[in-house]
């Protein structure tokens, strides 16, 4: 059988609701032929359409502390980078930013920080819990929290304070690569974050970085492992070399690798949320990621507020290109529309109910 025919057989399986094997996932991840890429992306869009029609969700991003105690090899905010912009937003600033994002029409406030020693050292996480409570008291939309790796006993407190989601990216599920990417961090402790979050009634997001030294088999394993974890949102983001890091001179990832990964994720996780990150190519990268099967736009950042992004800390932020207004125009042109907030709330409430968490939003 020629390659086209065997790929067509694999692509037919998710359209019929069948699961892909690890080998089939790896085969799809290897596609680079133009015709087969079109078939892959078309299939990913068809499957997204079955579950989400043309509706897209928007996530607002509040990077409230860029301090970090860790030294991840790929990250601009690693503690040993003296060029990294460092700030901690005050309570008033966090409330103001979260409220203005809510007013602009996002579905989720994503509260993100590095592993700020002021919050992480000492082990009580009172400041983190208070921030979640404070935002929950002041906004009426779901809250995602991305604080790094935290102890098991803190998850319930975060949910009680009002968090809905917990995001913590492994970036790779190859243990040796993990050691190089996240020196002195514990692979199992980080992986457990997602399970502890879900045990506590939170929804969880897991993610990988594409082009950090992993092979196709690693990527395929990650996609399968994320299925087994039963997380609710999965992301893939291209590696972009950052100044003043050990990986500053590594070859940047090819964006096509990220797009293929997103499409294969959609085939394996048909009903899950998959972000199209503006952090890699800015607004110019939105259409290719949606065309590959993504259905969430991250990270929407208010302009002129001195906020940073993650992978590219300034990209398209201060000129307003990452605002809801600008994104809505682009979505219209691409034939997508922003989902009503009620759709999002009932989607995630349904997931919480299935996981056995009676808490309401």
Residue numbers of the site for ligand SF4 (CB under 6 A)?
Answer: 68, 70, 72, 75, 77-78, 114-115, 148
- What are phi and psi for residue 109, nearest 5 degrees? -100, 120
Q: CB-wise, 57 or 76, nearer to ligand SF4? A: 76
Shortest reach from residue 75's CB to ligand SF4, in Å: 3
Q: How far is CA 189 from CA 72, 168, 186, in A?
A: 16, 11, 5
Shortest reach from residue 137's CB to ligand SF4, in Å: 27
Q: CB-wise, 148 or 201, nearer to ligand SF4? A: 148
Q: CB-wise, 233 or 291, nearer to ligand SF4? A: 233
Shortest reach from residue 61's CB to ligand SF4, in Å: 14
Q: CB-wise, 105 or 117, nearer to ligand SF4? A: 117
Q: CB-wise, 47 or 237, nearer to ligand SF4? A: 237
Helices 22-29 and 3-15, axial angle in degrees (round to 10): 120
Residues in the chain: 361
Cα–Cα–Cα angle for 230, 7, 13, rounded to 5 degrees = 45
Shortest reach from residue 115's CB to ligand SF4, in Å: 5
Contact 268, 25 (CB under 8 A): yes
- Which secondary structure element, helix H or strand E, spans residue 237, and what is its range? strand 233-238
12: burial class by Cβ within 10 Å (0-12, 13-18, 19+)? exposed
Three-state SS at 19: coil
Shortest reach from residue 10's CB to ligand SF4, in Å: 34
């Amino acid at each position: 059988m020629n390659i086209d025919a065997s790929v067509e057989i694999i692509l037919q399986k998710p359209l019929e609701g069948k699961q892909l094997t690890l080998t089939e996932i790896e085969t799809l991840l290897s596609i680079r032929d133009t015709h087969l890429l079109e078939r892959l992306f078309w299939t990913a869009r068809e499957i997204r359409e079955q579950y989400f029609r043309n509706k897209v969700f928007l996530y607002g991003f509040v990077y409230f502390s860029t301090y970090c105690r860790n030294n991840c090899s790929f990250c601009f905010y690693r503690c040993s980078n003296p060029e990294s912009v460092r700030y901690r937003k005050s309570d008033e600033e966090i409330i103001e930013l979260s409220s203005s994002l809510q007013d602009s029409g996002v579905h989720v406030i994503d509260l993100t920080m590095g592993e700020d020693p002021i919050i992480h050292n000492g082990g009580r996480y009172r400041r983190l819990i208070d921030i979640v409570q404070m935002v929950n008291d002041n906004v009426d939309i779901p809250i995602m929290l991305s604080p790094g790796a935290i102890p098991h006993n803190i998850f319930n407190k975060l949910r009680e304070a009002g968090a809905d989601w917990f995001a913590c990216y492994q970036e790779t599920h190859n243990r040796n690569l993990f050691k190089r990417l996240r020196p002195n961090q514990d692979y199992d402790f980080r992986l457990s974050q997602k399970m502890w979050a879900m045990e506590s009634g939170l929804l969880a997001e897991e993610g990988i970085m594409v082009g950090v030294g992993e092979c196709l088999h690693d990527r395929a394993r990650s996609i399968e492992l994320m299925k087994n974890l039963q997380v609710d949102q999965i992301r893939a983001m291209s590696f972009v070399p950052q100044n003043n890091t050990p990986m500053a001179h590594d070859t940047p990832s090819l964006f096509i690798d990220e797009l293929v990964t997103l499409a294969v994720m959609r085939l394996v996780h048909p009903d899950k949320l998959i972000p199209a990150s503006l952090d890699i190519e800015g607004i110019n990268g939105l259409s290719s990621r949606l065309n590959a099967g993504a259905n969430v736009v991250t990270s929407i950042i208010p302009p002129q507020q001195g906020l940073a992004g993650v992978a590219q800390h300034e990209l398209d932020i201060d000129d307003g290109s990452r605002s809801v207004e600008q994104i809505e125009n682009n979505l219209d042109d691409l034939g997508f529309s922003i989902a009503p907030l009620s759709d999002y709330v009932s989607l995630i409430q349904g997931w919480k109910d299935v996981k056995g968490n009676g808490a309401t939003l």
